[in-house]
Amino acid sequence: MSVEQAVREGWYPEEEVGKFRQLGAAVAGDMPAPEMARLAVLDAYERWDESAPRDLDLLLYPSVWHQGPNGWQPQHYLQKHLLGGSVPAFEIRSGCVGMISSLELAASYLQADPDRDTALVVSADNHGTPLVDRWRMTPGALVGDAAAALVLGKDYGMAELLAVNATVIPEADAVNDGAYPLFPPDATVGRGLSFGDRHEEFRQKLLKAQGTGIHLTIQKTMMEQVERTLDEAGIGLDDVTRVAFPHGRREDLDGQMSWLGLEEEQTTWDYGRRVGHCGAADQFIAFEHLIATGGLVAGDHLLMVGFGSGTSVAAAAFRILSTTPVTRGARA
């Protein structure tokens, strides 16, 4: 849905269109997030192999927003409707960095046992609920709905995961709680999600206590994660074709580009501002977009950088092997 339509409907302030340069948000309507996830898994398997997704060794389901009934586990929906059997399946709650950090968990799980071959990482979120205003939740950014699925195997595929690292900055925990009470939880009392209010409260509190030190800590941590990941991947930043950041505010991206010495065309900004911030799936739907539009070709490298509440920071490096589906009989 375009920002122009949102302005016409009275959902988005007209004066913010030019200021923040956002173009739209992906809106899923009333499709449940787990059903979005199911469709993404089917798409991923169609490109990877002709077989059904039943021979998995691990299923990880990172999510950000509520998935269904209270006390219900969305990963079991996929087990029932896709997998069957007793494959270990877990929901991962590490915020918007969840899909990247799940790659580290999945890769470690596969490497721990030579008999384990494949893992599935899938994330889905539909924010179109009464407690979220996708147009105003975070000033300068829009919130979108999306699902993405990635099959991780030891043998072959369209891309090679070269390295992945995730860490946390405990002293930045308050960046997203805004000094709100921990009990009762917001959703149980109908309190909506507004990061703008929380971030402003956090900023004021930090300026009084620490100045800008925490922002420098976040910057330093991101740089350390990127440098470590590139070093483990055996490549340098000059070897990276594109960098996928979260789909957030332009001012945040400007800082991230400055830290790494990047130009706008090296990022996925132009795509991200059309679909909004889609939870943990941002970098992966951008990956999909680059493959589909020729933004990445065989031999290119993609660097993902992610941030999550907590505050957590993660990075992953990929080498593109093929832009077309790869099967056992036609390996890249």
Assess if CATH 1.10.150.120 describes domain 163-320.
no
Q: For residue range 231-255, what is the model confidence (pLDDT) as tens digits?
A: 999 999 999 999 999 999 999 999 9
Q: Where are the domains of the chain?
A: 3-157, 163-320
At residue 212, the pLDDT reads 59
3-state secondary structure of 30: coil
**pTM (predicted TM-score):** 0.92
Tell me the pLDDT tens digit for each residue of 28-73.
999 999 999 999 999 998 887 656 567 789 999 999 999 999 889 9
Confidence check: pLDDT of 183 > 70? yes
CA 302 – CA 195 distance, rounded (Å): 29
Q: Which two tokens stand for residue 159?
A: 């891309």
Distance between CA atoms of 295 and 168, rounded to whole angstroms? 31
pLDDT score of 224 more than 90: yes
Give the pLDDT confidence of 143-178 residue by residue, as tens digits: 999 999 999 999 888 999 999 999 998 877 765 555
Task: Give the residue-averaged pLDDT of 306-313.
Answer: 87
How are beta strands 242-244 and 159-168 bridged, if at all?
A: unpaired
**pLDDT of 78 strictly over 90:** yes
The CATH class that applies to domain 3-157 reads: alpha beta
The token duo for 221 is: 């941590």
Question: What is the pLDDT at residue 271?
Answer: 98
Question: Which ranges constitute the DSSP H helices of 49-142?
Answer: 74-78, 98-111
The reply to whether 3-157 and 163-320 are identical in fold is yes
